[in-house]
């Protein structure tokens, strides 16, 4: 039985190293074309602005914005691939403050005008702040993205207590 655990641990370590190498390779391979797309959109907006109609300008802005988002996703992929190499640093976290901080990091002043962001009572917790921040970055980013087509949106963050667990 102990041999099987040792063998599976080795297999998991090998798989993690392969995953990290793959993530690094993909991130590296995506950066060059992404920089080109971003740069060409900038050139179009700066050098050909007077030739573009309103829709053309909007599309260039969308291309630029989406290439920036893709860059952040690549960074997140690399961050995630390195997580298993760092030891968890357990600290007391003010979840309410963390959630608000992440929302302001991800949102723009314009998007905050249309989003009613509500944070209910959240208990403090002892956890790794880097990992918990990643969780909130993903959750709140998705909430902002999936509510972006609405004129007015409500994003509400709270928790429930189920038995001995905070959910």
Mean per-residue pLDDT pooled into runs of 10, the chain (167 residues): 78 78 79 88 90 90 86 78 70 94 90 92 88 88 88 92 82
Are 79 and 118 contained in the same domain?
A: no
Contact call for residues 61 and 101 (beta carbons, < 8 A):
no
57 with 98, same domain: the answer is no
Same domain, 99 and 37: no
Q: How much is the pLDDT for 95? A: 93
Q: Are residue 150 and residue 95 in the same domain, yes or no?
A: yes
Q: How far is CA 4 from CA 13, 17, 44, 69, 84, in A?
A: 14, 20, 59, 43, 22
Residues 72 and 104 in one domain: no
C-alpha to C-alpha distance for 104 and 133, rounded to whole angstroms:
13
* pLDDT for position 23: 76
Q: What domain count does the chain have?
A: 2
What pLDDT shows up at residue 152? Answer: 93
pTM assigned to the model: 0.56
Domain end among 26, 54, 85: 85
Euclidean distance between CA atoms 137 and 50, whole angstroms: 38
Question: The domain spanning residue 47 has which CATH number?
Answer: 1.10.287
Q: Which of 35, 57, 85 is the last residue of a domain?
A: 85
Residue 146 sits in a domain of what CATH number?
3.30.565.10
Q: Please check whether residue 94 is in contact with residue 32, taking contact to mean a CB–CB distance below 8 angstroms.
A: no
DSSP string over 19-64: HHHHHHHHHHHHHHHHHHHHHHHHHHHHHSGGGS-HHHHHHHHHHH
CA distance 138 to 77: 12
Residues 95 and 80 in one domain: no
Domain span at residue 23 reads 2-85
How much is the pLDDT for 83? 65
On whether both 107 and 149 belong to a single domain, the answer is yes
Residues 14 and 61 placed together within one structural domain of the fold: yes
Q: How many CB atoms lie within 10 A of CB 148?
A: 11
Tell me, yes or no, whether 80 and 10 share the same domain: yes
Q: Give pLDDT, residue 82.
A: 67
Question: Rounded to an integer, what distance in angstroms lies between the CA atom of residue 2 and that of residue 103?
Answer: 46
Q: Are residues 9 and 81 in the same domain?
A: yes
Q: Name the domain boundary from 85, 120, 143.
A: 85
Same domain, 13 and 80: yes
Same domain for 126 and 74: no
């Amino acid at each position: 039985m102990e041999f099987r655990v040792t063998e599976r641990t080795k297999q998991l370590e090998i798989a993690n190293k392969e995953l990290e190498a793959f993530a690094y390779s993909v991130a590296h391979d995506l950066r060059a074309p992404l920089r080109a797309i971003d740069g060409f959109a900038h050139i179009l907006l700066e050098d050909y602005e007077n030739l573009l109609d309103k829709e053309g300008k909007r599309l260039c802005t969308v291309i630029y914005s989406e290439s920036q988002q893709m860059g952040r996703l690549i960074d997140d992929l690399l961050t995630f691939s390195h997580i298993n190499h760092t030891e968890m640093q357990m600290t007391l976290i003010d979840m309410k403050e963390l959630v608000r901080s992440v929302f302001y990091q991800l949102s723009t002043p314009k998007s905050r005008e249309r989003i009613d962001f509500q944070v209910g009572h959240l208990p403090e917790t002892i956890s790794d702040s880097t990992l918990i921040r990643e969780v909130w970055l993903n959750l709140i980013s998705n909430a902002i993205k999936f509510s972006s087509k609405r004129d007015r949106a409500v994003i509400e963050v709270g928790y429930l207590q189920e038995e001995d667990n905070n959910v």
